[in-house]
Amino acid sequence: MAENEPWQDPRLPEDARLTSLERRLQRAQAEEAVRTGKKAGAPQVGRSQGMRILSDLFGIPLGSALIGWLLDRWLETGPWLLLGLMFLGFGIAVRNVVRISRESPR
């Protein structure tokens, strides 16, 4: 057993071993943050949630409008299915944004 690893020493109390292990973990996380250029413990959740919201607000209405346009051309119903599905897509996108905003950060 190496002397610089007190967290493995069975003679030490469990609290001392856990404290030593926690210090080593924090030091390793700080070194990794320096190596990758990120702040230690800085969550990237805001960015991923923002990208999900952006893609939902654009993708769902556009995709549903495309489906409505194709159905309008196939069924010769004019712009009604396009408009209906586009507004349905906006409603679904807003529902998804509400769901994403209620999620807890990971």
Q: How many CB atoms lie within 10 A of CB 11?
A: 7
Residue-range definition of the domain harbouring residue 66 = 45-102
Q: Number of folded domains in the chain?
A: 2
The model's pTM is 0.55
**Sign of the alpha-carbon dihedral angle for 84, 90, 95, 96:** positive
Residue 65 covered by a domain: yes
Q: How far apart are CA 13 and CA 11, in angstroms?
A: 7
Q: How many CB atoms lie within 10 A of CB 30?
A: 13
Within its chain, how far is the Cα of 5 from the centroid?
36
Q: Give the pLDDT confidence score for residue 105 in this predicted structure.
A: 63
Rounded to the nearest 10 degrees, what angle do helices 45-75 and 80-102 cross at?
A: 160
Q: Are both 60 and 89 inside the same structural domain?
A: yes
Q: Which residues of the chain have pLDDT under 70?
A: 1-17, 38-46, 105-106
Residue 1 covered by a domain: no
